[in-house]
Structure 1
């Protein structure tokens, strides 16, 4: 599978990740990586996990999430 973003620019680059929002394949140059705390529904005791999760998105979805 090749990077969708590179394909739009006329290049062929192997993809290394898939956007969690739109499902587009992206290469290491285009993938956006963030850490996010995982939360469980409210219940007695601990609600967040100690270790953050990794979220991978494409540049378009990352920009859309940042704009809200």
Structure 2
């Protein structure tokens, strides 16, 4: 799989990740890494897990969520 954003620039770069929102392939230069808190139902409330999970998104989805 190749990086979708690099292909738009007519470059051929191997993807190392997939956007968790839209599914586009991403190289290291186009991947945006952010922490994501993981919650789980626990009895009548919810539990938060530590450490945080990783969330990788492309530039378009990263900007849309900001």
TM-score (norm 2): 0.90
Asked if the contact 2:32–2:59 (Cα under 8 Å) also holds between the matched residues in 1, the reply is yes
Note if 1:38 corresponds to 2:38. Answer: yes
Match of 2:3 in 1: 3
SS in 2 for 1:47: strand
Q: What count of residue pairs does the alignment treat as equivalent?
A: 66
Q: CA RMSD in A?
A: 1.6
Report runs of 4+ in structure 1 exceeding 4 Å deviation.
none
Q: Which one has a larger percent strand, Structure 1 or Structure 2?
A: 2
- TM-score scaled to structure 1, two decimals? 0.87
1: distance between equivalents of 2:61 and 2:41?
26
Partner of 1:55: 55
Q: Which runs of 5+ in 2 are unaligned?
A: none
Instruction: Tell me the CA shift for residue 46 of structure 1.
Output: 5.9
CA shift, 1:30, in A, is 0.1
Residue 47 of structure 2 aligns to a residue in which SS? coil
Q: Which runs of 5+ in 1 are unaligned?
A: none
